[in-house]
Structures are given as structure tokens and as C-alpha cells.
Chains A and B, each alone.
Chain A
Amino acid sequence: GNSVTQMEGPVTLSEEAFLTINCTYTATGYPSLFWYVQYPGEGLQLLLKATKADDKGSNKGFEATYRKETTSFHLEKGSVQVSDSAVYFCASFLYNQGGKLIFGQGTELSVKP
């Protein structure tokens, strides 16, 4: 079946540190891949996406590259800010499997000043 696995949190970083949150997927096919962010007490916001191999999604300084050979979609940011503190969810979507968005378990990021 399809699944998404993220690195466990919480991740605690100092401001301006480099961020990597690992995400790998398994799928019978070629899913579209997404990163969503959930700020405390809020809903889910799309952060970035990639729909095919070697695509790079980017937004607000965050980047992730769709790597088919390693079935990965790791999230990176060069310099995090306190305002980036949130829970980050990696997700995959396969339309031919009924159109389900499958989420990873979420990684909580805490950025300290």
C-alpha cells in the first residue's frame, strides 16, 4: 500500500540554523508530493508541492526535490526563523488509488531565538 514516513520530532533549532526534515514514500505508481504546515491552533496550509520526478517545489525559503530513485521528498530551509515553528506534514497523492492524500505522522519544529 501507499505510505509516507517522516523523521520523528520534535526538532529544536536555533534561529538561522539549517533545517532538514526527511520524508520518504512508498507508492504503487508515481504520486504527487506535498508539504503542508500547521501553525499552532490553526489549519493546514500548503507549503510546496512537486508532481513529477526531479521537480523542485519551493516557497517562503523552503525547498524540496522529488527524488524517484530514493523515493524521497526532504524539506530544507537554509535559515529558519522563530516564526517557522509549526508542525510539518509530508503527503503523497495518487489519483488512481481513489484520490487519497496520505500523510506522514508530522514533524514538530521549534525554533528558539
Chain B
Amino acid sequence: DTAVSQTPKYLVTQMGNDKSIKCEQNLGHDTMYWYKQDSKKFLKIMFSYNNKELIINETVPNRFSPKSPDKAHLNLHINSLELGDSAVYFCASSPTGTGNTIYFGEGSWLTVV
């Protein structure tokens, strides 16, 4: 029973396409996140949502649009994919409040060709 699950795990697509990555958590957490890991393994937050409300939008191009239909789901839609979007995208969730652990999904490896 996976706590934070994301699909697809691997995605290869052409420049200019639109794609989505889905994320679901069954931990009952209020807060969900998207992080991006670049080719040098550096991890940076993109978005966070609390109870379906956008809390953090970390200067991400507006081609990236998160959608949270309910507090257990946070999907990431990417329009007009560019080569530089190739990365690993991690979904995560946590309870609201300080000191709580953030749990990560397995990652989605996106390659834009």
C-alpha cells in the first residue's frame, strides 16, 4: 500500500507536447508538493498546496499548472514541453505544521526529445 504514488514513472515525449503527471496520497495529509530534481540531482520545490489551496508557487514558468481536485490528489500539467523540462519530478505530502515529515513518491522521470 503505497503512501504517495505518482504516474507515470517514466515518460518520454517530444518537444511541444502537453503532458500530465498524476499524484495521489493515502496518508490523510493536508499538504502536497511538487519538487523538481535536475540532472545534477539538485532538488527544488515548485508548488505546494494545502487543502486544495495554492500556498507556494516558486517562480515556475506558467507552462506548469498544478491542479488539486481534492486534498488527496495533486496533478501536474505541463504545456509546450521544452528540452530543459527533462528532469525527475517528485510529488510529496505532509501533515500541516512544523516538525512533520514530508513523504515523497517514487518520482516521475520525464525526458523531452
Binding site for B on A (CB under 8 A): 32, 34, 36, 38, 42-46, 49, 51, 87, 89, 93-96, 98-101, 103, 105-106, 108
Task: How many A-B residue pairs have C-beta atoms within 8 angstroms? Tell me.
Answer: 65
A99 with B41: in contact, given A34-B101, A49-B101 (CB under 8 Å)? Answer: no
Q: A99 near B106 (CB under 8 angstroms)?
A: no
Binding site for A on B (CB under 8 A): 31, 33, 35, 40-45, 48, 50, 55-56, 58, 90, 92, 94, 96-107
Q: A43 near B55 (CB under 8 angstroms)?
A: no
Chain A's closest residue to B43 (CB) is A103
Q: Of residues B44, B56, B58, B99, which shows the largest number of chain A Cβ atoms within 10 Å of its Cβ?
A: B99
Q: A43 to B92: give the CA distance in the assembly, Å.
A: 11
Q: Closest Cβ of chain A: how far from B52's Cβ, in Å? A: 15
Q: Chain A's interface: helix, strand, loop or mixed, by majority? A: strand
Q: Closest Cβ of chain A: how far from B106's Cβ, in Å? A: 4
Q: Closest Cβ of chain B: how far from A42's Cβ, in Å? A: 7
Q: B98 near A95 (CB under 8 angstroms)?
A: yes
**Which B residues are in CB contact (< 8 Å) with A94?**
98
Q: B104 near A43 (CB under 8 angstroms)?
A: yes
Checking B41, B96, B99, B107 against A43 with a beta-carbon cut-off of 8 angstroms, the contacting residue is B107
Q: B44 near A99 (CB under 8 angstroms)?
A: no
- 28 CB-based A-B contacts, threshold 8 Å: A34-B102, A38-B41, A42-B106, A42-B107, A43-B105, A43-B106, A43-B107, A44-B107, A46-B101, A46-B102, A89-B43, A93-B99, A95-B98, A96-B98, A98-B55, A99-B50, A99-B94, A99-B96, A100-B45, A100-B48, A100-B56, A100-B58, A101-B35, A101-B92, A101-B102, A103-B42, A103-B44, A106-B43
A44 with B56: in contact, given A32-B99, A100-B48 (CB under 8 Å)? Answer: no
Q: A89 to B44: give the CA distance in the assembly, Å.
A: 12
